């Protein structure tokens, strides 16, 4: 059987043009988010591709014209052998009209050993490699004893968490690989949550009353919500510095856990004292922390800051955290993910990596976030492992090395085969 697997791996080199064409086909489907609501045709292509390889298909709309696709290939001895989820997102980063691409972002080209096109690195390359591996196993007549589940999800770029919807639908496995951009590192990740902090007065005032608020004898207990938000921002900066000193995580540079005051909105117009101010923050936290823990730390600190201010004490800030969509409700959550380097699947993946590349796999943490945290939160041991470099993701002339795509396809094929042939203890 090992001889047969080696023969299949050799075919990836011999048939690399088919792999390249598969990736080019995926890129040609215009699926940027925002604007989103544009993935149905691409997802239908993947559903048909998997169905032809013997997968049962579950395809449902998460949003209009944005369906998830889950293909399940039932193992011949599913009760006895390990199951695997391969997860990737079909949406890609938006393309602004001002970006100066050398080519049309959705008409991919091959040049100097790379494929150029939106989504090549993030992350249609990962999906293409996994799909091609499935095709070769199918053509070789390989019948996996364990279940293989492929999830092509929507919404990752805008926090709409198609992967979370898969988890809610009940899809589970003994291990999951998120085939997102990792430069063939086996990775965990920190988490990200956005939130809105609001300072609001219960009354409004003409701007001519400002003197009464800020000078002796004014006798008006009032304040500008914008100016009071400055105190909140200073409080966030104080907490951010405290975190940088007191928290750390191997693989992250000190102070990677940040609180970014990203957007501020407030005031009515120049004839009013601002009666409301809203601050949109983005918080990065470490893999061994939860967003619930982080929310509590921020709220406790900011409410303590408010209690030290006479006006904020009576008009405390309010908080709204997370959200299901950066498009719909301007909020998102990406849970953190820790990778257990001693987990048998991680060791198995590292072994496949070494067999193909003849060098040890790097197990570390991603500086960005993926949907992997949702799988981890659902109790599924998970790792990120995919082709592509982050500096190419979301970039003008986004690109993916063909050599790395081939290497990745070999590794993921070998891992699928080995893990789904691993007996449960």
CA distances from 256 to 189, 217, 220, 282, 293 (A): 12, 47, 43, 12, 17
Is 91 an active-site residue? Answer: yes
Placement of tokens 């791996």 in the chain: 9
Q: Residue 124 carries which DSSP code? A: I
Is 156 an active-site residue? Answer: yes
> Hey, which residues does 85 pair with through a beta bridge?
149, 176
Identified catalytic residue from 28, 66, 91, 183: 91
Find how far residue 265's CA is from the centre of its chain: 27
Contact 283, 369 (CB under 8 A): no
Phi/psi-derived region of residue 113, left when phi > 0, alpha when psi is between -120 and 50, beta in every other case: left
> Hey, which residues does 331 pair with through a beta bridge?
325
Residues in the chain: 425
Judged by DSSP in three states, 189 sits in: strand
Identified catalytic residue from 66, 122, 147, 156: 156
What's the token pair of residue 172? 């589970």
Query: CB-based contacts of 368: which residues, under 8 Å, 6+ apart?
Result: 181, 189, 390
Euclidean distance between CA atoms 304 and 313, whole angstroms: 9
Query: CB-based contacts of 101: which residues, under 8 Å, 6+ apart?
Result: 95, 396, 397
Number of separate helices (H) and strands (E) present in the chain? 12, 20
Any idea which residues carry the catalytic annotation? 91, 156
């Amino acid at each position: 059987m090992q001889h047969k697997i080696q023969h299949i791996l050799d075919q990836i080199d011999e048939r690399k043009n088919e792999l390249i064409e598969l990736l080019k086909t995926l890129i040609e489907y215009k699926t940027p988010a925002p604007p989103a609501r544009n993935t149905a045709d691409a997802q239908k292509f993947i559903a048909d591709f998997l169905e032809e390889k013997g997968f049962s298909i579950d395809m449902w709309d998460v949003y209009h014209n944005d369906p998830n696709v889950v293909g399940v290939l039932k193992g011949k001895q599913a009760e006895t052998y390990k199951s695997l989820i391969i997860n990737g997102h079909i949406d890609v980063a938006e393309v602004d009209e001002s970006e100066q691409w050398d080519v049309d972002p959705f008409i991919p080209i091959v040049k100097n050993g790379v494929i150029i096109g939106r989504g090549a690195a993030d992350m249609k390359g990962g999906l293409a490699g996994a799909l091609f591996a499935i095709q070769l196993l199918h053509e070789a007549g390989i019948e996996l004893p364990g279940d293989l589940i492929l999830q092509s999800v929507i919404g990752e770029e805008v926090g709409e968490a198609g992967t979370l919807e898969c988890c809610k639908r009940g899809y589970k496995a003994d291990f999951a690989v998120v085939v997102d951009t990792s430069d063939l590192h086996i990775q965990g990740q920190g988490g990200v949550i956005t939130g809105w902090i609001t300072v609001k007065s219960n009354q409004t005032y003409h701007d001519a009353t400002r003197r009464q608020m800020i000078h002796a004898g004014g006798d008006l207990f009032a304040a500008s919500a914008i100016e009071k938000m400055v105190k909140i921002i200073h409080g966030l900066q104080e907490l951010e510095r405290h975190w940088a000193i007191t928290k750390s995580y191997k693989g992250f540079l000190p102070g990677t856990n940040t609180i970014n005051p990203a957007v501020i909105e407030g005031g009515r117009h120049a004839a009013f004292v601002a009666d409301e101010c809203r601050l949109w923050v983005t918080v990065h936290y470490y893999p061994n922390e939860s967003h619930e823990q982080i929310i509590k730390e921020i709220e406790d600190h900011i409410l303590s800051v408010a209690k030290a201010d006479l006006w904020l004490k009576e008009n405390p800030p309010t908080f709204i955290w997370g959200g299901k969509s950066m498009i719909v409700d301007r909020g998102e959550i990406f849970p953190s993910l820790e990778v257990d380097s001693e987990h048998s699947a991680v060791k198995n993946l590292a072994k496949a990596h070494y067999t193909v590349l003849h060098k040890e796999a790097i197990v570390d943490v991603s500086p960005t976030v993926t949907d992997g945290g949702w799988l981890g939160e659902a109790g599924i041991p998970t790792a990120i492992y995919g082709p592509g470099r982050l500096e190419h993701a979301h970039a003008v002339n986004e690109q993916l090395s063909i050599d790395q795509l081939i290497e990745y396809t070999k590794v993921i094929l070998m891992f699928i085969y080995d893990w789904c042939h691993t007996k449960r203890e």
